[in-house]
Amino acid sequence: MLNDITLGQYYPADSFAHRLDPRTKILLSIVYIVSIFLVKSLFGYIPVVLYLFLTIKVSTVPMGMMVRSIRPLRILLLFTFVLNLFFGTGERILFQWAFLTIRHEGLMNALHFSLRLIFLVTGTSLLTLTTAPVVLTDGLERLVSPLRVIKFPAHEMAMMMTIALRFIPTLVEEAQKIMKAQTARGADFTSGNLKQRTKAMIPLLVPLFISAFRRAGDLAMAMEARCYHGGEGRTRLHVLKFRKDDAIAGISILVLMAVIILVEQWL
């Protein structure tokens, strides 16, 4: 039951995309999202598809994994498509049966919004597929660190994210262990109505919380023992540096944006 939690869907490889600075990739993703929202016509998606294929190729992530990243969205996609399809407003009726009416605008909207959702998710999941979670938080910390001027706790936030990510697999394993142990005492996690099932979670959650607190305490102690005292004056083993590749990637996304704007202008 807990095995299907796939977190940190990082795909380890050594590609152009993997080697990019995480800050570049985060900014790239933001510009990519903005570009997608600039698309108004279906033709506008042609450069997006081309760009997406190119980046997937460059990242060496298998197509199968990309498709899998959309799978959790299939219900949402279906809803988006069906609702837009039947509730469009406009003059041109394409199909009519009983109370169901498909209009031209509805069909266009359905395609438009579904494609937008698909491209948004696949594009941004490339970020997490090519960037290890720890590197990602590192990049995020550096990106938001200018906000420290207004007392934004950039380092603390990044550290908390790193620790949280680090503990997810540990806690999943722990949860499985406790579940087994309580099952051995006749606990039943899989049957009964909602109320019974919720109650059945108590023997799992209480020990899990206790263990999480215990681990947090241990970790805090271990960090203090190694003289951790916050981000102030802390140096890094891997200093993030922008390189030529980052410039190339940056230019590529700007080209995409420009092409989209041109396509939208001319069509």
Partner 1 sequence: MPLTMENVTYTYQPGGAFQATAIHDVSLHIADGELLALIGHTGSGKSTLAQHLNGLLKPASGRVLLDGQDINLKETDKRDLRFQVGLVFQYPEYQLFEETVEKDIGFGPRNMGLSKDEVDARVRRAMDSVGLVFEEVGQKSPFELSGGQMRRVALAGVLAMTPRILVLDEPTAGLDPRARAYLLKDIQHLHEEGTTVVMISHSMDDVAQLATRIAVLEQGRLVTTGTPEEIFEQFDRLTQMGLDVPQASKLSHLLRDKGVAIPLNYQLEPLADALEQLLKGGACHAQ
60 vs 211, beta carbon nearer partner 1: 211
What the block records as the tokens of 242 is 């922008």
Q: Binding to partner 1 by residue 250, rule CB under 8 A?
A: no
- Candidates 50-58, 114-122, 186-194, 257-265: pick the segment binding partner 1 (CB under 8 A): 186-194
Strands (E), the chain: 93-97, 100-103
Q: Binding to partner 1 by residue 93, rule CB under 8 A?
A: no
Which amino acid belongs to residue 197? Answer: R
Q: Binding to partner 1 by residue 180, rule CB under 8 A?
A: yes
| Cβ neighbours of residue 226 closer than 8 Å, sequence gap 6 or more | none
In whole angstroms, what is the distance from residue 161 CA to residue 135 CA?
Answer: 11
- Candidates 59-67, 71-79, 138-146, 198-206: pick the segment binding partner 1 (CB under 8 A): 198-206
89 vs 190, beta carbon nearer partner 1: 190
Q: Within 13 A of 116's CA, how many CA atoms are on the CB side?
A: 19
In whole angstroms, what is the distance from residue 93 CA to residue 106 CA?
Answer: 9
CB 9 within 8 A of CB 125: yes
207 vs 250, beta carbon nearer partner 1: 207
- Candidates 99-107, 134-142, 174-182, 245-253: pick the segment binding partner 1 (CB under 8 A): 174-182
Cα 87 to chain centroid distance, Å, stands at 30
**Residue 184 Cβ vs partner 1, minimum distance, rounded to whole Å:** 4
CB 22 within 8 A of CB 139: yes
Crossing angle of helices 63-70 and 104-130, in 10° steps, is 120
What track of x and - describes contact with partner 1 for positions 122 through 161 (by CB under 8 A)? Answer: ----------------------------------------
Terminus-to-terminus CA distance in the chain, angstroms? 50
143 vs 187, beta carbon nearer partner 1: 187
Using CB atoms within 10 A of its CB, is residue 153 exposed (0-12), middle (13-18) or buried (19+)?
Answer: middle
Q: Binding to partner 1 by residue 168, rule CB under 8 A?
A: no
Q: Which of 151, 186, 193, 265 binds partner 1 (CB under 8 A)?
A: 186
Q: Binding to partner 1 by residue 255, rule CB under 8 A?
A: no
Q: Binding to partner 1 by residue 176, rule CB under 8 A?
A: no
Number of H helices, E strands in the chain: 11, 2
Q: Binding to partner 1 by residue 210, rule CB under 8 A?
A: yes
Q: Which of 183, 189, 245, 259 binds partner 1 (CB under 8 A)?
A: 183
Q: Binding to partner 1 by residue 197, rule CB under 8 A?
A: no
- Applying CB under 8 A, which residues contact partner 1? 177-178, 180-188, 202-203, 206-207, 210-211
